[in-house]
Structure 1
Amino acid sequence: MAVFSAKESLNRTILDNIMDAVVSIDKNGLITYCNQTALTLFGYTEENLLGKNIKCLMVDYHAEHHDNYLRDYRSNLVKRVIGNTRVLQAKNINDELIPIELRVCQLEMEDGTAYLGMIRDLRDSISKREKIHLLENTDLLTGLPNRNALVLALNDTIDGLVLNKQNFYLLMIDADDFSKINQAFGYEYGDEVLRKTAEKLSEYKDFRLIARSSQDEFGVLFQSELPQHEIKRWLTEVLCQLSSVETIINRPISCSFSGGIYNFNQPNENSQNAIGYAENALKFAKQLQRGGLVFHSNEIDQEQRHSAVLDQGLKSTQLTEQLFLVYQAQVDEHGQLIGFEALMRWQYQNQLVRPDIFIALAERNGAIYKMGGWLLEQACQFLTWSSTIPEFASCRLSVNVSPKQFAHPNFVPDIIQSLLNHKIDPQRLHLELTERLLLENPAIIVQKMQDLRRYGISFSLDDFGTGYSSLAYIKNLPLSELKIDRSFVKEITNSASDRKIVSTILLLAQGLGLNVVTEGVENLEQLTELKKLGCKQFQGFFFAKPLRKEHLLTSIPQFKADGS
């Protein structure tokens, strides 16, 4: 039994209790020392390991070259191993391979040169890295790969196109109005809908990868050489299957899905761009029709980019400097001027943006509140100005109100205060609402309308006949007017159905005690036909185009009863 000094015992105790394995060899490669960690790592006893060549712990390749490494180092001081940290594999007593990190240093001992190897077992850290990698690339709710994994899979697929030209498709699927499921039933129902969706998608064996890329969005990667129309037909069936009613926690729930597809077959593709193109097609599909499916095209990209540019423009501090109003005359059956409708225009980057485009964008990004405040101030200024002009002093001004604007808590007090500040007769301000507004929070809408009606402000229902309002609901609203949409006027002289619709609206308005203004009158034939049906108030290009305030006095003629 070897006897050690106190210092030697301390050194051995320290070495036997460190987490790294320590092995020393002499100049010939024979093992002269190993700590307890090394014995545990490689499965040897001290008696079995001491005196053996270090090659017994090496995989075949390194074992074959080890003697040459030592000889080169002694002869030429070529440091292939000494002083470098390397990751490689070692071999235990059962010839099982172990991933290790190795660092070797040289020691000058009393009995000659020795080499000390510090060996770290990497199995645990590799396992942790694999778990971390799994967590980083897996959606915990559905168990599917996540967006990061989708990007990696796309990168691998695109790299493979260098050698193997194939047609690949990326399908991005999004649940329509998914938030309403959470709102109506709770998040546990929404989570279960997503799990069911993941299960349904996983049943399609032709899908190479299915990933949950965001809250209610899934990405699907697949390869196909089928014609595009057949792929669209197949994927439409997939979306239909996803939309089928499911029993979720004893409650039947259905959720439709829309999809966007991007096709790629070239190795110069970019994974992030591919996802962006598919998502642009998805957004376009949702705009066209919920539950729809659209292939990516350059036209869609251009439209989406244009929309993004406009979105930023609406957020600009210079927005109100780019807005202006035009006013279109409204006349009665005798051609007498009864009022104007204020129409907002936006000139951005030297181009006029269509109102249906910028109003919808403004409602989504919140710019509608700033625009609504500006519009109210401009309307008050117009009413103040027009009160000093005899031809206009008794005319009302109709102003369109956005649903978002109307829903603002301060909408009613802001309007009343503005009228008071400008000393304007409330009866000269007329607010035009859409049927879409009336479908949202009806009790609150009615209360606000009643508050403003008591103050003297009147209301009309714009584009009547194109929405989905309940007649039982409309009869209880404090309305004074319906506006017949221009879509029923365009073919009024040739379409019996349009004439019946107009007649029905007039009869309904009469029963409810409401006035009617007919929009979109562009020629004498339309005017004549509308008068035969009983229309008495009109608006359209036949009478006047929308004009800026400064052009109204010189451009608004007086019309005779026959429209001449």
Structure 2
Amino acid sequence: MALRSGTSSKVSEDGRGAGHERSTRSNESEEDTLAPGRSDLLVTGEDLSGRLSELLVGMQPQVAVHYVDQDELLAIFTGGAVPGEGIEEPEIIVVAVSLLDMATLSWMRRLIASSRLPMLAIVKAHAEQRSALRRRAQEVGAIDCLLYGELTPALLEAVIVHARNHIHQSARLAELRDRFSLAIRGARDGMWEWDLVRSRVFYSQRWRELMGIGSGPVEPTIESWLSLVHPQDVDDLRGNLENHIKGLLPVHEHEHRVRDSEGDWRWVLSRGVVHRDIDGRAMRMAGSLTDLTPYRQRELNIRERSREDKLTKLPDRPVLFERLARAVELARAHEDFEFVVMLVEVDRMTQLRDSYGVVEADAAFATIAARLREALGSECALFRFEGDKLAILLEDVDHPGVGTHVADQIHRVVADPFEVAGALSFTTVSIGMTSSAHDYAKVEEVISDVSAATDTARERGRNRHEIFDTSMRIEARTLLALEMSLRQAIDEGELRLHYQPIYTIAAGRTPEESRWVIAGFEALMRWEHPERGLVSPGEFIPIAEDTGLIIPMGRWAIRQAARTLHGWHEEFGRTNLSLSVNLSAKQVDDPLLLETIDTILAETSLDPACFKLELTESVMMDRVDEVTELLQQIRSRGVEIWIDDFGTGYSSLSYLQRFPVDGLKIDRSFVMQLDGSERSEAMVRTIIALAQGLGLHVIAEGIEERFQAEQLGRLGCERFQGFMLGKPMPESRIRELLASLD
């Protein structure tokens, strides 16, 4: 930028100087800052450079006065223009005008904001306008406004010294502000200031980050803070603040939990002090907020590791009771706080221990616990409850129904096979759950109800979850009534057998000419209640087994099935049709089982090879030697023995050759995995190959899709059963089906 000729007045002897350099060092004294040198004063508006030079000729440190056009001056500070020759470091801007109108004031505000230099206004006006003009100038940021007619060396020097002091103090203030800001950032604390007179609170950006608010709007009230505090902590925090304001506590210091933007609870430490006026009245309060979550988590981990279950590495039962006690207290104190408790019982652990020993069974249980811990994450608190049970606590849930979603996830996780002593095995879980919706007052009440729900899930067939309701408290009476009804059903002939067809494929000259052919049926028991209609087997079979009623029911089923099959042979001439009947664990102990079989075979003259008995692996693995001897006696009569639900037991491969069996039924869980790909058929292919190697027949059950049957056929499966081919039907429907085949 070129200066106008003759508009620069040199106050120093040689017109040059070292210039004025502002220092920001904290240990620099004011005398150092004002050391002799030269500073530049920029004049704009009307050209008063000559007049000002004359007035400042004796001032120390020396001042060089330069005139700069308004547009050029603005370009220096806003557009990056280079100052003209002789201007080393501008220190003060003087605006000389005849009138302080809105346009001039706006331009001054813009220049002050961009230059960050002190500005002095000089106006040609009357003395009575002095106060009003000074007020206008200072409103836009100028340090003062002088009247042209009142300019004197002393007045001008005083204003410039004031400007220099302003620069110095601003630099010191900026330095202190930077140091304070750096310290706050290093401490990672959030700052807050509470104006107690106006009831307004300022929250720093870091405070917002700790609360997970970010740059979003925050109401400047104390409730913006308290509304995020954990229900169990908020009253204590409010009381601590109030007691400090009243002077009952020397300082405010309080640890509490706040909810962040992810919905998680974070531990924080709030500190603060009150500022009081001369009369002792609380005027404002300021403090900080420190994130304690990492330290709290480490402390919790150390404490819980000292009280964890050795096998699963999970917190033990006492830890659960402590956490649950706090949850019960919170739920009673705050209506919007809800919790869910779940009890997960791993099924068939007794059979695992009997088959493989305690060490291997415990290792399997630990594997399941580790799977659940990884799958459920930190939102679900997982505990070792007792024996074969795990407990889960969900706190501050949006709705108790969230427990159902967690239960579904648990079933999926547990369904994957696991290895026991080098063999693949499977298991399921029975889950019970309850929630704070039942208004619990004691931990013992929660445990009692969730245990009842778990028992219900187990009694209703396992591999399921049940939500507690008050009816479970009277379930014992209900079960007793159902047992009495079942006894009556046996006496009054309310039991029925339904029959599900089993098919084979008759090969044609071409694949297109192949057709489905009925090979036999499986007999399935049903209860036709006079009032309720058909009662699900899952409801009455467990009761029958627990009460021993399954023994007379089983005898009846064997006799009825054999008579029905004999009738079909006689009526339709299809003597190759077979019929399967299931044997339960209690029936294996029936001392009259062999007599029942002998009697009905003699009565009907039925070919024993057409009559089959099915047992699950778990039944066969209970007292292996005794069961093996019984099966040999049954098989010696010509009756075939089949293993039902093969692949879901515990010693499928290691004990298979010991049992006198004729065939395997592939469990529906493997069939359901078939999707047409080679990967999905790995387990089924292995089972079929194993059966063929041992000379055993194979039936696949649970077929619901045609592509599953086709894939099984390609793998060498002989017989097929499932809803796709036919659902269980009463005898009358089967007779119609057989008649239609003639």
Q: TM-score, normalised by structure 2?
A: 0.39
Higher RCO (CA-CA < 8 Å; seq separation 6+): 1
Q: TM-score, normalised by structure 1?
A: 0.50
